[in-house]
Amino acid sequence: MKRISQTRLALLRRRLKGKYLLQNVINRLTFLPRWVIILIDLSVITFSFGLAFFFRFNFNLNSIDEFNPSFSIPAVLFISIISTLITKSYAGIVRYTGIQDAIRILHTELLNLSFLVVINLIYFYNVGKNFIPYSVIFISFFISSVLLYQYRLVIKSIFSHYKSNFPNKVPVLIFGAGVAGFLTKQAIEADMTGQYKLVAFLDDDVKKNRKDINGTKIYSYDKLTELVDKYKIKKIIIAVRSLSIERKNEIVDDALNHLIRVSYVTSFDKWLKNEWDVKEIRDVNIEDLLGREVIKLDNKAIDADLQGKVICITGGAGSIGSEMARQVLSFKPNTLILIDQAESPLYEIERELRSKNKQTKIFVFIADVCNKTRIRRIFEEFKPEILFHAAAYKHVPLMESNPSEAVSVNIFGTRTLADLSVEFKVKKFVMISTDKAVNPTNVMGCTKRIAEIYVQSLDRHLERLGIRKTSFVTTRFGNVLGSNGSVIPVFKEQIKNGGPITVTHPEITRFFMTIPEACELVIEAGVMGQGGEIFIFDMGKPVKIYDLARKMIKLSGKELNKDIEIVFTGLRDGEKLYEELLNDQENTIPTHHEKILKAKVSEYLYDEVSRNLDLLEEFINDKNEHKMVTLMKEIVPEYKSNYSRFAVLDVAH
């Protein structure tokens, strides 16, 4: 028994050694030399013509000899070489054989056929008979066309078979049994690294159930659990060109419940060109699940508003400002001016923009928006026509600790820019505000609300005087995904470091929007604004931060409370549980864009606002924070401090 066991063990070792040796050989085999492909193709063509002669003359050698095949077939080979070199049918890598290769082969064979028909006509004109029977030419055309493509498919199938049976491959399902799914299958089969083993397709279309794509079965989506249990699936690859965010979230939730990863195809462009690279398959991240459907912009109106203009963006090195610059640049302005205090980010965005557009003149300035003399010089030199004001302090707890800086930049920086815009006849001033300006509970939110009040009151004041040359428009939206210091980059860093993830409160919720989406809506709202409006954006459904943290842990392949914990730290200074886009007294008016609404807000008289701001400025200079915040509460009565040292002022008031 012991000897038998040792014999079996030795046999098993030999088999494993042979399997790994074969795997190593195939991994090292990249592609056949082109001269080998040409030799095989010529052999197939020779065989096809010989077979065509036999078929045509019923294997009667005497009839075949009348056409001297020993001379005609070499002539055919010579013509085939010329056709092959012209069409480059040898250029395709055999293991990637696809439709493009079939088209190249067909072109080669049609060229062969054309050459032989011409030679036949010339030969008949001079000799009085055909060089090769037309029937032989057409029979060989069909035989060689099929064989040339089929032998490539056979080699590809053999290669794929052995690759798919290598150990340590990740068993995967592809969601989407359409063209995109087929391309994903081809990319997996062509992958030299052999990462994935495709088990089956999943699709929502029940009509495709139990059918197959090149031997791989298609199952309805409700078979997910069964397939996961049976084949130990480790990953689902979403391969659908246009899948709704809601459906994508459903698939991800189902996958995470089964403890399997989810990926998606970032682009099909390379694959459509037969450039197979599984790097186009990327793991789903949280931004993919929080984003929304593509926004439809009125590009004609935006073109008319931005093309050929002089445009200035403050805060141009920040998350919003830099993306605004990228998008504005695509509309080909004459001049683009970026203003910011952050030296290194400003340098980086300048380099990026210059590499993308050589026609637009790009200027960057390190400047403080509160420095009226510095900003005036920029306006004097360039005469901006449109100003996007994104410069602001935004971190709530930090501004709660440094209220005078929040007031200086967010309020008086805005006033400086607004006043200079009027002086230099800027056509449109678009201010970027925040949802924290609604029923503010912190200094930062209140400063943004006061900035809104100032630009709106200034617009109405100029309109009443009949001297308005500048239209002031305000846009208001919530958190943007991936912005500097926002919750998602913080969570990613904490997960990377092994946790814990810190959440302030189990019930805290926030609205989220992608940076590109926010900037697109800012541009659209800026174009549609006539002056004095406050536009709010459809932010979708609020997201509970605790649920966000849990999903991010699962997406990273880790388990909550096993690999990474979530720790509650308590609300920070000035923070509130729920963000709002409108206060209790406000309502909205729809616009022509479904995601942009116009807020009906309480309006203030410019003279009164100006007097209050002058007094506020004195309190900044006196360094009296309590007097300053008390006045802010008088200007914005709905401002009630939350988890803040300034809450005592609400009690006193």
Active site residues: 436
CA distances from 240 to 170, 183, 213 (A): 21, 11, 15
Give every strand in the sheet of 587-590, ordered side by side. 361-366, 335-340, 310-314, 386-389, 428-434, 471-477, 534-537, 596-600, 587-590
Using only C-alpha atoms, the chain has a radius of gyration, in whole angstroms, of 35
For the chain, the first-to-last Cα distance in angstroms comes to 95
- C-alpha dihedral sign at 55, 61, 67, 69: positive
* Residues near 536 by beta carbon (within 8 Å), at least 6 away in sequence: 475, 476, 477, 581, 582, 588, 596, 597, 598, 599
Show the beta-strand stretches assigned E in 449-547.
471-477, 479-481, 501-503, 509-510, 512-514, 534-537, 543-544
Length of the chain (residues): 653
Show the beta-strand stretches assigned E in 495-638.
501-503, 509-510, 512-514, 534-537, 543-544, 566-568, 587-590, 596-600
Q: Which residue, 586, 636, 626, 646, is CA-closest to 454?
A: 636
Bridge partners of 217, per DSSP, are 212
Count the neighbouring beta carbons within 10 Å of the beta carbon of residue 490: 12
* CA–CA gap between residue 456 and residue 470 (Å, rounded): 11
Q: Which amino acid is at 481?
A: L
Q: Which two tokens stand for residue 469?
A: 């040359």
Helix axes 343-356, 319-329, angle to 10 degrees: 20
* CA–CA gap between residue 409 and residue 392 (Å, rounded): 6
Exposed (0-12), middle (13-18) or buried (19+): which is 567, by Cβ within 10 Å?
Answer: exposed
* CA–CA gap between residue 49 and residue 139 (Å, rounded): 8
* Residues near 312 by beta carbon (within 8 Å), at least 6 away in sequence: 337, 338, 339, 378, 382, 384, 386, 387, 388, 426
Say if CB 480 and CB 520 are below 8 A apart: no
Say if CB 329 and CB 357 are below 8 A apart: yes
Q: What is the 3-state secondary structure (H, E, C) of 8-61?
A: HHHHHHHHHHHHHHHHHHHHHCCCCCHHHHHHHHHHHHHHHHHHHHHHHCCCCH
Exposed (0-12), middle (13-18) or buried (19+): which is 129, by Cβ within 10 Å?
Answer: exposed
Which residue blocks in 57-98 are alpha helix, DSSP H?
Answer: 61-65, 69-87
CA distances from 455 to 337, 382, 437 (A): 21, 22, 14
Bridge partners of 220, per DSSP, are 203
* CA–CA gap between residue 334 and residue 311 (Å, rounded): 8
